[in-house]
Structure 1
C-alpha cells in the first residue's frame, strides 16, 4: 500500500443523530474525517412513533456524495451501523411497507405482554439469551403482525435498520449477525434463526433472510447510485452493523478481562465472553447476550446513558433556555455533591417528555430534596449514572465470578469528563476513556479487515491504539462515593 491512503466511508446512525465519516488508513494509522452530520429525531404519526427512513436515507446519500469528493484515490467501500432492535418490512418488489417504528413506541409494552402469554420470560431468555424488554424486535414484530398480518406475505422480508440501508444501497437483502443478535430471534450465542421460537409464535419463516457475518461484502452500489454519485463500483460491506459491536472492535485494549461502557444515548455496559450467561440470576439482574464481530458474546446490560441529559436539554430549549454541553457541566461543577440521586433506568424515564420535571418528582417521591437548578439536575443525572455503572460492575462480578479490573469507556460520553471521573470514583477502578468515535472507527477498521488491509480483531485493536488518544481516570474520594452508593442502593423503584 506504501504511503497511499486507502479510503472507506462509515455511516453511523445513533438514536439522536447520525454522521458519515471518511476513514483513511495510511500504513498502520487510521484517521477519521466527519463529512456529514445530521439530526435523527422520531416522528409521532397518529398513534405511532416512527423513524423517518426516507429522510435518513437522503442524509446517507448526502454523506456519500460529500465523502467521495476530494480524495486522492477512490473510496473503496461503505458500511452502515445503527442502534439495535428496530426493523422494517420490504415487499417482493423492494418497496418499504411502512416507516420503521421507534423502539420507544408506547404500544410495545402490550405486545410484550401478548408474547409472554405464549412463552415465559425464563424460557425466552434460555432460548435466545436476550433479556425480555418491551423494545425487543421479537415483541415489536409479534404485535405488528397481529395488527397487520397482510404485510407479511411470502415475498416480504424483515431487515434490521442497517440491513435496510444496505439493501437500498446494494440491492442485496441479508441480516448481519451482530444486529440480528439484538432481536431475541436467534439461538443464544449462535448465528442462526431460532426456528422453534419463530414457529411457536406463529411468525412466518419466510420473513427472515440469510444471516451474514461481519466482514461480508454484500455487493456494490446500485447502478443508479453510482451514476448519481459519479463514482465507480464502491463496495457495500457488513461490519459490526450494531453500533456497539463496531465500537467494541475499536477499543484499544491489550488485556482481555476488561469491562466496557459504550456511552451514548444508551450506555451499554458489559464484558466479552466465549459463551452467553443464561442463568436465572443473569436474567433477574437484567443482562442480555449479543454477538461480537469475532463470534464471541457480549454479556451486557442496557443502561439509560445520556438520554436523561439529552431530554433535559431539549426541554430547556423548548423553554428558550439554550445551554452548550460545556455550560451544563460548568453549572453542575458548582453544586455540592450527592444531594439528590435517581434511578436512571426507571420505566417512567423511557419516553420523551419534560424530563426535568420528572426528575424533580422522582426525587420528591423517594424522600429526597428536588433538584431545582439546571446545575443540580445535571449533577443528579451524572452522579446517578456513575453509581448505576458501579452497580453493574458489581452485578457482572456476581454472574461471571470475576471482577473486571478496568473499564474502557468509548462513545460520545467520553466528551463528558465529569461523567468519566465520576464513573472511576464510583466503581473504584480506572476508567480508560476513548476513542470518542468508536463506532465509526470500528466500522472503518472492520471494512479494512474485509479488504485484507487489517487482520484479526487483535490487529484491529492495535491499529485503534496507535491511532487514537485515550485518557485514564483514577478513582478519587472513595469514602464519600461509598456512602452515596449505599444511599443509591436503597432507592425504591417507583412510578412517577
Structure 2
C-alpha cells in the first residue's frame, strides 16, 4: 500500500492564521492543525495595516511544526496586496481592506466606467474595498509610484517562500480587473481606468507550480528539500467551495467566516443587470 502523502495548507483569515497538515492516501484523509496564530492588524499614522511580517513568521512556525511535507499551498482573504520595488523589497505593510482610504472612491471610478458596464465586464459584487478602488485611492501616492510589482497577500507570502512571483486567478478575480469569461485580465477596462496591469505578475491557476522553498526557508523550518509550493484557490472562499463534499453537480454551499455567503458553482458567470442590481 502506498504511504500517505503530507501536504501543508496555510490558511490566513482576517483574525487568525493556521497551518494544517493533510495526509492523503488510499481511502485516507487526515487533517491535523500544526499551528494557529493571531492576525492582529495595526492602526498607524497612515491608517489600518496588516502586520504581514508577523503573518510570515507564523507561516514559518507552522511549517516547522508541520514536519516534512510533500507540498505547500497558501490561501487568504481577498483584495489586499503588497507593493514591491525594483529589487523585490516590500515598500510597506499592506493596507487593510477596512482602511478608510476607499471612502467615496467608487463614485470616481463610476464617473469613467458606469456601474453597469463595470459589472458586465467583471461580474464582481460591489464592495468599496475591491482592489480596483484601492488602486484608484492610491494613484497619487509615492509608494505606488515607486512600485514595480503588486502581489496579492497569498502570492506575496509564496514569493517570500520561493522567490517566484505569480498572480493566482481566483484571488485576482477579486481585484475587479479580471474578465470572468476569458479568465484573463480585462485589458480594455484597465486601460480606461488608468490601471497598469504590468504591475501584476503572470496569472497562475490552481494546480500550477509556484516554485520550491528557498534554501533559507528550508533552514528556518527544518524541512528537507526540494519542497514544492503549489498554487491553490488562494481566495479562501474558492478553496472552501472546492472542498465541499458534494457527490453531484447540483449543490449549494454556505461559507461562514468574517463574512458569510451562500452560493452555487455554475458553468458560466452570471453578468446580467438583474444580478448587478441585486449585488
What TM-score range do you get, normalising by the shorter chain? over 0.9
1:342-361 CA distance string (max 9 Å, x none): xxxxxxxxxxxxxxxxxxxx
> If each structure's helix is expressed as a fraction of its own residues, which one has the higher value?
1
| Distance of 2:181 and 2:170 partners within structure 1 | 10
1:436-473 CA distance string (max 9 Å, x none): xxxxxxxxxxxxxxxxxxxxxxxxxxxxxxxxxxxxxx
Say if 2:274 is the partner of 1:274. no
Q: Please state how far the C-alpha of 1:47 moved relative to its aligned partner.
A: 4.0
Maintained 8 Å contact 1:42/1:49: yes
| Distance of 1:48 and 1:28 partners within structure 2 | 49
Say if 2:237 is the partner of 1:247. no
Write out aligned runs for 1:446-465 (5 A).
Answer: none
Maintained 8 Å contact 2:61/2:221: no
Maintained 8 Å contact 2:60/2:220: no
RMSD: 1.4
| Distance of 2:46 and 2:70 partners within structure 1 | 42
2:131 aligned residue (137, 150, 160): 137
1:44 aligned partner: 43
Say if 2:56 is the partner of 1:88. no
Gaps of 5+ in 1: 69-73, 287-496
Write out aligned runs for 1:184-203 (5 A).
Answer: 184-203=176-195
Q: Please state how far the C-alpha of 1:272 moved relative to its aligned partner.
A: 0.9
Q: Please state how far the C-alpha of 1:59 moved relative to its aligned partner.
A: 0.6
Q: Please state how far the C-alpha of 1:255 moved relative to its aligned partner.
A: 2.7
Residue-pair matches, total: 278
TM, length-normalised to structure 2: 0.95
Write out aligned runs for 1:199-210 (5 A).
Answer: 199-210=191-202
Say if 2:2 is the partner of 1:9. no
Q: Please state how far the C-alpha of 1:89 moved relative to its aligned partner.
A: 1.1
Question: Which structure is larger by alpha-carbon Rg, 1 or 2?
Answer: 1
1:69-114 CA distance string (max 9 Å, x none): xxxxx41111100011111111221111111111111221222222
1:308-340 CA distance string (max 9 Å, x none): xxxxxxxxxxxxxxxxxxxxxxxxxxxxxxxxx
> If each structure's strand is expressed as a fraction of its own residues, which one has the higher value?
2
Higher relative contact order (CA 8 A, sep 6+): 2
Gaps of 5+ in 2: none
SS in 2 for 1:104: coil
TM, length-normalised to structure 1: 0.54
Write out aligned runs for 1:315-464 (5 A).
Answer: none
Maintained 8 Å contact 1:188/1:276: yes
Q: Please state how far the C-alpha of 1:136 moved relative to its aligned partner.
A: 0.3
2:100 aligned partner: 106
| Distance of 1:131 and 1:264 partners within structure 2 | 18
1:348-391 CA distance string (max 9 Å, x none): xxxxxxxxxxxxxxxxxxxxxxxxxxxxxxxxxxxxxxxxxxxx
1:166 aligned partner: 158
Maintained 8 Å contact 1:82/1:162: yes
1:118 aligned partner: 112
